[in-house]
Chains A and B, each alone.
Chain A
Amino acid sequence: MNKKSTNNDAVTIRFSGDSGDGMQLTGGQFSDNTAIFGYDLNTLPDFPAEIRAPAGSLFGVSSFQLQFGSRKIFTAGDELDVLVAMNPAALKVHLSDLKEHGLLIINTDNFTPKNLKLAKYDENPLDNDQLDKKYRVIRVGMTKLVMTKLEDSDLTSKEKARSANMFALGLLYWLYERDTETTINFLNKKFKSKQLIAEGNIKALKSGYYYGETIEVIKTTYRVDKAKYPPGKYRNIMGNQALALGLLAASHNNDIDLFYAGYPITPASDILHYLANYKSFGVKTFQAEDEIAGITSAIGAAFTGNLAVTASSGPGIALKGEAIGLATITELPIVIINIQRGGPSTGLPTKTEQSDLLQAMYGRNGECPCVIVAASCPSDCFNMAYEASRIALEHMIPVILLSDGYIANGSEPWKFPSVKDLLKFNLNYVNKGDEFSPYNRDKKTLARQWAIPGNKSYEHRIGGLEKDDGTGNVSYDADNHHKMTLKRQEKVDIISNFIPDVEVYGPSSGKLLVIGWGGTYGSIRSAITKAHHEDLSVSQIHLNYINPFPRNLGEIVLKFDKILIPELNMGQLLSIIRSKYLVDAKGYNSIKGKPFSSNDILQTIKTHLKD
């Protein structure tokens, strides 16, 4: 054996193959293993919108990327250190992202004439040494090796061939000096009732691991030092999972039942899946007949005193618009979650984008301001779901929580909180003996009293027609409508007194301030960190609260000569900041359905610093 270890501070790996090749599972397993072994990491799953795109086709390629390392990892990485390509189409789609001298691991068995043709290769790229000139190539006939290993198994040939992904995973485990135990446990659990399949996969996994050890072709193993974390208890978590837990914690910690209603839509459906498993906490999940029933049933639940939540993606939020107006005028607490994806229309369902901010801000009829908060990374989805619930309930107001496909499906280590340390909410239930009128308001928050059906002597009617302030009776009075419109805006604005100030990362004043929001936090922070390493003077703020903005935002923006706002849209936060603070902020925009490259942001920062 000729094995030597080199230390790198971060490594980016991409598993790619046909959508039937199990790349998401493989990547997920590698991520969990990576987290348990104590690295920081960030992941980027990327799969076709078609559930089963034609096998071997270019648009049927599915991939899973992760970056892990000993330092804080903010993104899933830009250039690849390692590319696993399970078929010609995957090689064709992803090769350009592999670094020069990067490691290229290929399953040669899938390089059949038919697959080459589907991938639009005129000749087999494995037939010459062009690849070897640029990359370090490992050619393995994974499928045949696995078939041979499983010769005596009663599995069908198709089932045997399908475990080639576990071979690839085993090979990577060996490469990064990992233990296969976590995946063996996982497989035994997943295929509890299908022992044959579990055995087959475990054998394939081990074959890959031993293959790495045995074959001399692999000369270098990369070992990555463990990240330095603050002490505490950690777990690996995905954004949508964290979001569901945040809602659950908000409900459980404040003794208020959680009612969640939604219609299945990518990439938000997982929230429904997670919450449906928390029935033991009294969580009620309702798979509605359409997006509109999703939000309106939630509004019914809010009227009935629940923590009411609905989630969707942009197209579904568009359908919910009228009902968001109803929740606004009836001043009921509801959390509306938008896991953003590429648009317009059906757009890019499985890709990420930040292009629904202005929809959240303005996408309704009439003057209809809503509170907007945004999560910045997978684990932050927990905090912001908790915060969205708090604001909705304490202020009796609809809150829109923006996440996106990238952080929803991405995962990272999370130093999870202790439930008992989480903030308790001040709920607005009308108390026995209180003088009641449906639109009586709290002096500080302007929240109206919450009288819930079932409570005697508080019977009242609310609805979508304009309300008389105080009584809540229908009112067509001109001055009242003017007053109520201003009041609904004031209810939103006043919330800036109940949210934290934003913190500046880097110098508190200077030449350049980079402002971001939502899921781009990692890419921007990574670029800023690199810039600081190069002694560049640049600062960052990242907004979790967008409507209203934190109170101190206005002062901060005036302390910098220039403002740069990178967004995965055409400049939506940019237009809000420009109009609100009258500053000449500049945008940096990318609408490609994928996260920013932090190097690109760094280059843009440099350009702005030079001018």
Chain B
Amino acid sequence: MSNTEQLTKKDFTSDQDVRWCPGCGDYAILAQVQKVFPTLGIPKENMVVVSGIGCSSRFPYYMNTYGFHSIHGRAPAIASGIKLSNPDLSVWVVTGDGDAMSIGGNHFIHVLRRNIDMNILLFNNRIYGLTKGQYSPTSEIGKVTKSTPMGSLDYPFNPPALAFGASATFIARTIDRELKHMGSMVEESSKHIGTSFLEIYQNCNIFNDGAFSNLTDKAIKSDNVIVLEENMPMLFGKEKDEGLILEGTQFRVVTLGKDYSESDILIHNPEDRNLGLILSEMTYNEDLPVPIGIFYKENKPTYDFMMTDQINRAKNKAVDLQSIIEGPNPWNVK
């Protein structure tokens, strides 16, 4: 941990020109990550950023850390090999909705299931940008694109719910325009021991501009977004006068005042798995605000920890290689 205090954003900026389209949400994410990384107390040489294919996957080239821009969908698997080879490294996967949810869906769910200690940043812009505008597995049904002139027919994935299904131990969401919130989510991801999954709503201003405008436009965003905070009542709205209560197994929005007071509002407990599950189900519910923040977190032994432990235990019973090569029944020929 030596010399990490002096690190600055500049230390994490590579000499490569950033090639994203002007106005792309990725710029804000890159800036926040470069700002947060020096504060994490991790030596720069221990950080590895791994990506697959897609606009977001250019990310490692712009980070002056160890980096690997790999092949489509495979970043979680490559990152698994990196982390298991050297569990001291801080491993970051940068991926997009096509990369992680479509071609790399299998690796995504399996890395979460194994709880390998790494961080996944999913840039979700609900469109294929690099291939110029086809609908993605998180696009809304009926999306009209070049490949779906009459509208797409597939129902979208709900990434946090998918992560729950795969037994993820850290599930969070943020938005590219919420810089401070994004910074704190990146920091929380880093702190979590196990696989952290952070979905970042990101605007593609070329092929899906405004996909999240109801969550980012100043005039309306506070009515449409609820910021989840640990041990705090789930309030939202410009005046923080709207809140969530539980009716049966469903959330309902109520207004504080005559009938309800703050004490009626549900308190967020990110360690409550059932609560996390219904929070994740709010994603496409038009009657409810869209949650950002930490949906769920859990402490569970990681794969890399358990693997290291097995190896250490085996080393206590070490045998010499020559005797293994000889096997149990060698014989001599004279």
Interface, chain A (partner B; CB < 8 A)? 32, 35-36, 38, 182, 229-237, 245, 248-249, 252, 257, 259, 261, 278-282, 284, 286, 288-290, 292-293, 296-306, 308, 322-323, 325-326, 330, 416-419, 453-465, 473-474
- Smallest CB–CB gap between A583 and chain B, Å? 39
Chain A interface: which of B73-81, B204-212, B216-224, B242-250? B73-81
Closest to A251 in B: B321
Q: How many A-B residue pairs have CB under 8 A?
A: 190
A458→B315 contact, CB < 8 A: no
Listed from nearest, the 4 A-B pairs whose CB atoms lie closest are A300-B81, A463-B69, A297-B81, A279-B314
Assuming A300-B85, A306-B85, A473-B16, is B329 touching A463 (CB within 8 A)? Answer: no
- Extra inter-chain contacts (13) besides given A284-B311, A419-B321, A454-B89, CB under 8 Å: A232-B333, A233-B332, A286-B84, A289-B110, A297-B77, A304-B85, A322-B71, A416-B326, A416-B330, A462-B67, A463-B60, A473-B16, A474-B16
- Smallest CB–CB gap between B58 and chain A, Å? 9
- Smallest CB–CB gap between B322 and chain A, Å? 5
- Smallest CB–CB gap between A426 and chain B, Å? 21
- Smallest CB–CB gap between A66 and chain B, Å? 16
28 A-B contact pairs sorted by A residue (CB < 8 Å): A35-B329, A35-B331, A36-B331, A38-B331, A234-B330, A235-B326, A235-B327, A245-B324, A259-B81, A279-B310, A280-B314, A289-B107, A292-B77, A293-B74, A297-B80, A300-B50, A300-B78, A300-B82, A304-B86, A325-B71, A419-B322, A454-B45, A454-B46, A454-B86, A456-B45, A461-B14, A462-B67, A465-B69
A236–B331 alpha-carbon span in the complex (Å): 9
Chain A residue contacts of B74, Cβ below 8 A: 292-293, 296, 323
Chain A residue contacts of B63, Cβ below 8 A: 461
A297→B321 contact, CB < 8 A: no
Number of B interface residues at 8 Å Cβ cutoff, please give it.
56
The verdict on B319 contacting chain A, using a C-beta distance below 8 Å, is yes
Closest to A471 in B: B15
The verdict on B299 contacting chain A, using a C-beta distance below 8 Å, is no
Selected contact of A300 from candidates B77, B106, B321, CB within 8 Å: B77
Chain B residue contacts of A259, Cβ below 8 A: 81, 84-85
A284→B307 contact, CB < 8 A: yes
- Smallest CB–CB gap between A452 and chain B, Å? 8
A460–B81 alpha-carbon span in the complex (Å): 18
The verdict on B318 contacting chain A, using a C-beta distance below 8 Å, is yes
A305→B70 contact, CB < 8 A: no
> Is chain A's binding surface mostly helix, strand, loop or mixed?
mixed
A233–B322 alpha-carbon span in the complex (Å): 12
Assuming A237-B327, A279-B310, A419-B325, is B333 touching A230 (CB within 8 A)? Answer: yes
A284→B329 contact, CB < 8 A: no
A459–B67 alpha-carbon span in the complex (Å): 8
Assuming A231-B334, A282-B315, A303-B68, is B81 touching A308 (CB within 8 A)? Answer: yes
Closest to A310 in B: B81
B80→A286 contact, CB < 8 A: yes
Chain B residue contacts of A462, Cβ below 8 A: 67-69
Chain B residue contacts of A232, Cβ below 8 A: 332-333
Assuming A280-B319, A293-B106, is B80 touching A461 (CB within 8 A)? Answer: no
The verdict on B201 contacting chain A, using a C-beta distance below 8 Å, is no
Chain A residue contacts of B44, Cβ below 8 A: 456, 459
A297→B45 contact, CB < 8 A: no
Closest to A458 in B: B45
The verdict on B55 contacting chain A, using a C-beta distance below 8 Å, is no
Chain A residue contacts of B79, Cβ below 8 A: 300
Chain B residue contacts of A303, Cβ below 8 A: 68, 78, 81-82
Which residues B34-56 have CB closer than 8 A to chain A? 43-46, 48, 50, 53
Chain B residue contacts of A417, Cβ below 8 A: 325
The verdict on B65 contacting chain A, using a C-beta distance below 8 Å, is yes
B81→A296 contact, CB < 8 A: yes
- Smallest CB–CB gap between B309 and chain A, Å? 10
A182–B74 alpha-carbon span in the complex (Å): 48
A308–B81 alpha-carbon span in the complex (Å): 9
The verdict on B88 contacting chain A, using a C-beta distance below 8 Å, is yes
Assuming A284-B307, A454-B88, is B70 touching A326 (CB within 8 A)? Answer: yes
- Smallest CB–CB gap between B81 and chain A, Å? 3
The verdict on B20 contacting chain A, using a C-beta distance below 8 Å, is no
Assuming A419-B325, A463-B60, is B70 touching A234 (CB within 8 A)? Answer: no
A462–B65 alpha-carbon span in the complex (Å): 11
- Smallest CB–CB gap between B43 and chain A, Å? 7
